[in-house]
Amino acid sequence: MTTTPESGTKQQGKTLTTSQGAPLRDTNHSLKAGPRGPVLLQDHHLREKITHFDHERIPERVVHARGAGAHGTFVGYGTAEKLSCAAFLADGVETPVFVRFSTVAGSRGSADTVRDTRGFATKFYTSDGVFDLVGNNIPVFFIQDGIKFPDVVHSVKPHPDLEIPQAQSAHDTFWDFVSLHTEAQAHTMWVMSDRGIPRSYRTMEGFGVHTFRLVDADGGTSLVKFHWKPKLGVHSLIWEEALLTNGVDPDFHRRDLAAAIESGAFPEWELGIQVFPDNEEQMFEGIDLLDPTKFVPEELAPVQPIGKMVLNRNPTNYFAETEQVAFHPGHLVPGIDVTNDALLQVRLFSYIDTQLTRLGGPNFSQIPINRPHADVNDMLRDGFHQDDVHEGIAPYHPNSLDGGCPFMAGAEGSARMPFIDVPEHIAEAVKERRNPATFDDHYSQARMFYRSLGAQERLHVQQAYSFELGKCASEAVRARQLQALANIDADLCAAVALGLGLPAPSADREVQEREPSPAVSQVGASWPVDGRVVGIVADHASDAAAIETVVAEAHRNGLKPLLVAPTGGTLADGSPVDRTFLTARSIEFDALVVLAVPAPAADAVPDLDGKAGTPSPPGGEGLDPRLILLLQEVYRQAKAIVLSGPGGSVMAGAGLPAESPGVVAAEPAGAVEAAVGLLGTHRAWERLARR
Ligand code: HDE
């Protein structure tokens, strides 16, 4: 990782100075009247240092405060050329990008693996200016109209009296709101599914959510929905992992993204579009394309790939890049335009407004990470943090004094293609506060999504609702949400009601049946394993050749091997131990290869985290209790376990069945191959189904 103390900075080998460049001899002592003080006001260096420190923080984002960023490249396939004149979508055109992933509800210092929607915002530095695709990892949103955004956000944020709970939806105000404002039910269903706890930012789909409009070179238009498809497939944590991770490694997603890039396992996504005719109705198969609480199943409108994004460089400075990046759904380029989706329209106002407070004024697009790579010749002037030294005397249009410049795009003298607002016919309308009737269906897609999941995934949804509602103190809120679940699916409602100890209500309305969409399920497909983590359990007596083979094979297959042993130090092959039994925890590993069965160390340092208290199952007396805990957790989490050489006997000692889906025996030479075969499906799903 780049954060090692040895890594260089531009200041290496240089002399310390004040901000004005004056060389300094001492930054450890303030200027005092004698060694015992008092401190003198005239110490400019002291005052500059403290004043700057006092102002180091800027307001965090009101939502999406916690995030991780990465640089990369987008390459167009040219397949969208017929639909859009956007230059960056043309065949083979390479465009630099910066992506910021985020959670929504938590503060900047909250944990990565909470149950929440994730942001997936991409800045394309195109030759025609910046295009921002500011999406989420869930294709539907909580609300249909942006005027409700403060309401939904206030409901999910910590209670205003004590600022508790942080980064959680499992509390009364959130469920109060979503059970009253039932258009939020579809989005909530996605968040309660495994999608709400991604394994990694690298294994998330991304969605533009709204319907956008593509414009071709002749002004022809089509409606589209944007999708990011991860090369590694969609993969999530299970709840136990998410909870453990919040404590063991709250930076889990940040670390995973940075470590993958650092190791050369560059995360990749294909950008795809679903295409719909741009007609007056703006409907597709009974789905209103302007309703952002609805998605269009891929089975009805296939996602057509139009380009590929690879993230290949970590930020150099978190604040300068990831914190100061400013996205805006209105940052559009010729060839892409917005629609009248009322959620999108309000966003067009909000994102510039919020930067005025967050980044301290109107010149945030001059911050390096926000600077377009295209020529900027605006007539915006002055303001806080103005970095440009504008020349000329006529920042107005029309002018004759600066040669009439800058020219209008498309006019004589300008080579640039203009952004054209699509001339859209607005039907004769009455000014009113009202939604179309097609927005009234709040349940059919929540039901369709739930019924499209695999049995194990449905079980997770049941558990998630039971957990979240179980944390609500108000019985009225719990009962009201159960009513919403009754309208979605009677079995789901019954399972959650059972957990809550409340009666399961019957549906109180007719809900339209929709065909299931198997594409939303994570069960059943197989994916590449790049950058996945394999823990190798060995001890100081383990055979050097076996360790060498497994580590080399892991690298060859693009996996990240971590050697786990009872204590630190060096193993027989000379490799340093990466994790001791004290510092290792199941959440870090996607698969475990067990090469040795270390016995409990007689003189083990007493464990501070209570791991040593794990009871030994019958037959497990000879095993280190921390290894038993590791195996039990990895087993419960339905991860691959490969038993090799002496490791073969370990399952029984940990009280686990040796014959089980996702548990295999292999020689060291074939251990990684066996793990790769199991890892492709992300989990031993059958093992989860058995419980
Ligand atoms: Fe955002 N949203 N949002 N949002 N949003 C912000 O902008 C807002 C919505 C999304 O990594 C804020 O610069 C309103 C939908 C992402 O910097 C703010 C409404 C979707 C990010 C804001 C929405 C998103 C934001 C906070 C309803 C998915 C993080 C800081 C009309 C399609 C971007 C900022 C980053 C951030 C407002 C709805 C995604 C306050 C008013 C729908 C990924 O402007």
Cβ of 142 closer than 6 Å to ligand 1, yes or no, is no
Cβ of 327 closer than 6 Å to ligand 1, yes or no, is yes
- pLDDT for the residue 43: 97
Q: Which residue's CA is the nearest one to ligand 1's atom 42?
A: 141
CATH number for the domain harbouring residue 489: 1.20.1370.20
80-83: long-range pairs with CB below 8 Å, 24+: 80/214, 80/273, 80/306, 80/307, 82/216, 83/214, 83/216, 83/222, 83/224, 83/273, 83/275
- Which ligand 1 atom is nearest residue 120's CA? 43
Q: 313 and 447: one domain?
A: no
Cβ of 119 closer than 6 Å to ligand 1, yes or no, is yes
Cβ of 380 closer than 6 Å to ligand 1, yes or no, is no
Catalytic residue among 45, 64, 227, 442: 64
Enter the tokens of residue 559: 């996996």
Say whether the ipTM exceeds 0.95: yes
Q: 105 and 221: one domain?
A: yes
- pLDDT for the residue 354: 97
Q: 494 and 602: one domain?
A: no
Q: What are the backbone dihedrals phi and psi of residue 678, each rounded to the nearest 5 degrees, phi first?
A: -80, -35
**Domain assignment of residue 172, yes or no:** no
Could you tell me the distance, in angstroms and rounded to a whole number, from the CA of residue 207 to the centre of ligand 1?
13
- For the chain of 691 residues, list the mean pLDDT of each consecutive stretch of 10: 56 92 97 96 97 97 98 98 97 98 98 98 98 98 97 98 97 98 98 98 98 96 98 96 96 96 96 96 96 98 98 98 98 97 97 97 98 96 96 95 90 81 87 95 98 96 98 98 98 98 97 97 92 94 94 95 95 95 94 88 53 61 87 95 87 90 94 93 85 51
- pLDDT for the residue 427: 81
Closest Cα to residue 283, out of 219, 223, 347, 207? 223
Q: Which residue's CA is the nearest one to ligand 1's atom 44?
A: 351
Catalytic residue among 71, 136, 171, 682: 136
The reported pTM is: 0.96
Q: Are strands 304-313 and 67-76 parallel, antiparallel or unpaired?
A: antiparallel
What range does the domain containing 95 cover?
67-153+182-370
In 3-state terms, what secondary structure has residue 70?
Answer: strand
Residue at a domain's end among 370, 404, 432: 370
Q: 388 and 246: one domain?
A: no
Collect all residues with Cβ–Cβ distance below 8 Å to 491 and sequence separation of at least 6: none
Q: What angle do CA 349, 351, 357 make, to 5 degrees?
A: 110
How many Cα neighbours within 13 Å face the side chain of 32?
Answer: 10
Q: 337 and 486: one domain?
A: no
Could you tell me the distance, in angstroms and rounded to a whole number, from the CA of residue 147 to the centre of ligand 1?
13
Active site residue 64: yes
**Domain assignment of residue 18, yes or no:** no
Strand blocks (E) in 317-453: 336-337
Q: Are strands 533-537 and 560-565 parallel, antiparallel or unpaired?
A: parallel
Domain total in the chain: 4
**Domain assignment of residue 61, yes or no:** no
CATH number for the domain harbouring residue 682: 3.40.50.880
Q: 550 and 668: one domain?
A: yes
**Domain assignment of residue 273, yes or no:** yes
Q: How far apart are CA 171 and CA 164, in angstroms?
A: 9
The Cα diameter of the chain in Å comes to 92
Burial of residue 448 (CB within 10 Å: 0-12, 13-18, 19+) is buried
Give just the sign of the alpha carbon dihedral 8, 11, 15, 17.
negative
Q: What are the backbone dihedrals phi and psi of residue 342, each rounded to the nearest 5 degrees, phi first?
A: -70, -20
- Which residues face 276 on adjacent strands? 223
Q: Which residue's CA is the nearest one to ligand 1's atom 23?
A: 347
Strand blocks (E) in 332-486: 336-337
How many Cα neighbours within 13 Å face the side chain of 133?
Answer: 28
- pLDDT for the residue 512: 95
In 3-state terms, what secondary structure has residue 663?
Answer: strand
**Domain assignment of residue 49, yes or no:** no
Residue at a domain's end among 370, 393, 428: 370
Q: How far apart are CA 337 and CA 208, in angstroms?
A: 13
Could you tell me the distance, in angstroms and rounded to a whole number, from the CA of residue 470 to the centre of ligand 1?
29
Q: 548 and 658: one domain?
A: yes
Cβ of 146 closer than 6 Å to ligand 1, yes or no, is yes
Cα–Cα distance list, 451 to 181, 207, 284, 687 (Å): 22, 21, 21, 21
Q: 239 and 297: one domain?
A: yes
Q: Which of 58, 63, 143, 354 to mutate to test the pocket of ligand 1 (most atoms within 8 A of CB)?
A: 63
Q: 218 and 77: one domain?
A: yes
- Which residues face 212 on adjacent strands? 224
Q: How far apart are CA 425 and CA 614, in angstroms?
A: 69
Q: How far apart are CA 158 and CA 106, in angstroms?
A: 9
Q: 635 and 567: one domain?
A: yes
**Domain assignment of residue 215, yes or no:** yes
Enter the tokens of residue 292: 């952002």
**Domain assignment of residue 347, yes or no:** yes
Active site residue 435: no
Could you tell me the distance, in angstroms and rounded to a whole number, from the CA of residue 175 to the centre of ligand 1?
21
Q: Which residue's CA is the nearest one to ligand 1's atom 6?
A: 63
Q: 554 and 479: one domain?
A: no
- pLDDT for the residue 261: 96
- pLDDT for the residue 10: 78
In 3-state terms, what secondary structure has residue 395?
Answer: coil
CATH number for the domain harbouring residue 121: 2.40.180.10
**Domain assignment of residue 266, yes or no:** yes
- pLDDT for the residue 611: 62
Cβ of 345 closer than 6 Å to ligand 1, yes or no, is no
Q: Which of 156, 212, 327, 367 to mutate to test the pocket of ligand 1 (most atoms within 8 A of CB)?
A: 327
Instruction: Assess contact for 379 and 395: CB atoms under 8 A.
Output: yes
Q: How many helices (H) and strands (E) does the chain have?
A: 16, 18
- pLDDT for the residue 613: 55
Residue at a domain's end among 468, 497, 520: 520
Q: 461 and 481: one domain?
A: yes
